[in-house]
Amino acid sequence: MSEAPPLRIATWNIHDAVGSDGRRDVARVAQVIGTLGAPLVALQEVACSGPDGACDVGELGRANGLVWSSVITRGAGHWSYGNALLSALPVEDVRTHDLSFAGREPRGALEVMVRWEAWRLRVVVTHLGLLAGERRHQVQRLLSLVGDEGADATVLLGDINEWWLWGRPLRWLHRRFGPSPALRSFPARAPLFSLDRVWVHPRRALADVKVVRTPAARAASDHLPVVATLRLA
């Protein structure tokens, strides 16, 4: 099997499309997604359903010619929010995993199998909790659920909410996937924390990771998008 062409995959917490100016603007988020050049875009805090059939993830997908899969983790009024994957690649399978921790905001993971040239790629999108014990529980559950069978590579990405670079959840993830670059992506206007991360197994398939710091990205959400380049041989 020859080497696959480079593949870009992005992760972005879009904060319900509310930007740094306090304005909710789904079209603005869609425009930024269109500039990422990524056939796969993982989203967190995206509205998956709303009144009168509204669906932000669907609007974001249609605006960029991408199909979408999502998992709802919480509701607020008439809206339901969660994690999603926008894809220009063929989707073969979709699974959802409950990562909720007792007494805390519900959390989940979206697992999508896509076809990339001759390869099968497992993409796991998640948004972990705010408490250290909560994240430890969620990472352990993720690692027990996500294996390597049936895929040539596995990508885990999303808003990990891990503020401590020496925390056990990060150590466990690095042990499983290999090290992931810690790039500052939050808050968008003056990034200080590496909350948005990408891991790939096998680690050699992760060629590059960067944060998108354009004025449009800074304005569209309180997080910046993180884009990784994958190469498989």
- 169-216 pLDDT, tens digit per residue, is 999 999 999 999 999 999 999 999 999 999 999 999 999 999 999 999
pLDDT at 52 over 80: no
pLDDT at 103: 87
pLDDT at site 34: 98
* Distance, first Cα to last Cα, the chain: 7
pLDDT at 181: 93
Q: Are 25 and 53 in contact (CB under 8 A)?
A: no
Q: Which of 105, 101, 49 is nearest to 72 (CA)?
A: 49
Structure letter (DSSP) for residue 37: -
- Phi and psi at residue 57, in whole multiples of 5°? -65, -35
- CB contact at 8 A, 108 and 81: no
**Per-residue model confidence as pLDDT tens digits over 152-176:** 999 999 999 998 878 899 999 999 9
Q: Token pair of 173, please?
A: 């993830």
- Quick: pLDDT tens for 106-159: 999 999 999 999 999 999 999 999 999 999 999 999 999 888 888 999 999 999
Burial of 141 (0-12, 13-18, 19+ CB in 10 A): middle
Please, which pLDDT band fits residue 81 given cuts at 50, 70 and 90? confident
SS3 138: helix
Find the length of the chain: 233
Sheet with 40-49, edge to edge strand ranges: 67-76, 79-87, 40-49, 7-13, 226-230, 206-211
Q: How confident is residue 50, by pLDDT bands cut at 50, 70 and 90?
A: low
* Global pTM value: 0.95
> Alpha carbon 223 to chain centroid distance?
12
**Residue 130 token pair:** 């705010």
Identify the bridge partners of residue 93 per DSSP, sorted by sequence position. 113
Percent above pLDDT 90 for the chain: 82
Task: Determine the 3-state secondary structure of 136 from DSSP.
Answer: helix
> Do residues 85 and 110 lie in contact, with contact meaning Cβ atoms separated by under 8 Å?
yes
Q: Is the pLDDT of residue 1 over 60?
A: no
Q: What percent of the chain has pLDDT over 70?
A: 96
CATH topology of domain 7-230: Deoxyribonuclease I; Chain A (3.60.10)
**Spans of all domains in the chain:** 7-230
pLDDT band at 54; cut points 50, 70, 90? low
Q: Per-residue pLDDT for 4 more than 80?
A: no
DSSP annotation of 147 reads -
